[in-house]
Amino acid sequence: MVRQFLQSPIYAMINPRHGRAQCKKTLDQWQVHYADVDQMAGSLSGGNAQKLILSREMDAAATLIVAAQPTRGLDIGATEFVWDALRAARDRGCGILFISSDLDEIFELSDRVVVFFSGKLVGEFTAPFDIGEIGAAMTGAGL
């Protein structure tokens, strides 16, 4: 299958050198540690694989990003890098639906928090956040 693609006329329009240069630029920008741009993504460490995926999904043209647990398993430095990238996307007008089980992370990055309980919207909060109110909504108190 790959061999057929490489021999197809469409592949002749692709500039592999340009593609590798763009790949290297993006991987370096996202601080992904890799041996070679031709390295298989599956051979990267978990954190580097996660940054690779984010680098692919969070391009400058994105108008909406759904970020579900984007920092799970990352070290502190990589987490800060992802937070900065999400903030930069927000600042350029991109909408971000941020899903995380880490309340500190949610409070750090969110302008608004929406809580669902048993499939129903039970609370909507804006910064500064009151952890007591949000916690009560999360447990279904006051329903």
CATH of the domain at 56: 3.40.50.300
Identify the residue with better confidence: 133 or 7: 133
Give the DSSP H or E segment for 16. Answer: helix 16-29
Model-level pTM?
A: 0.74
Q: Region 24-38: what's the mean pLDDT?
A: 90
Per-residue pLDDT at 5: 54
The structural domain count of the chain equals 1
pLDDT at 107 over 90: yes
Which residues constitute the domain of residue 74? Answer: 2-110
pLDDT at 3 over 80: no
Asked if residue 131 belongs to a domain, the reply is no
Name the band, by pLDDT with cuts 50, 70 and 90, for residue 114.
Answer: very high
Whole-Å CA distances, 134 to 9, 26, 105, 110, 121: 57, 38, 14, 13, 12
Q: What is the residue-averaged pLDDT of the chain?
A: 86
Asked if residue 124 belongs to a domain, the reply is no
Spatial CB neighbours of 59, under 8 Å, sequence gap ≥ 6: none
Asked if residue 76 belongs to a domain, the reply is yes
Q: Region 99-125: what's the mean pLDDT?
A: 92
Asked if residue 54 belongs to a domain, the reply is yes
pLDDT at 6 over 60: no
Asked if residue 137 belongs to a domain, the reply is no
Asked if residue 140 belongs to a domain, the reply is no
Asked if residue 116 belongs to a domain, the reply is no
Asked if residue 71 belongs to a domain, the reply is yes
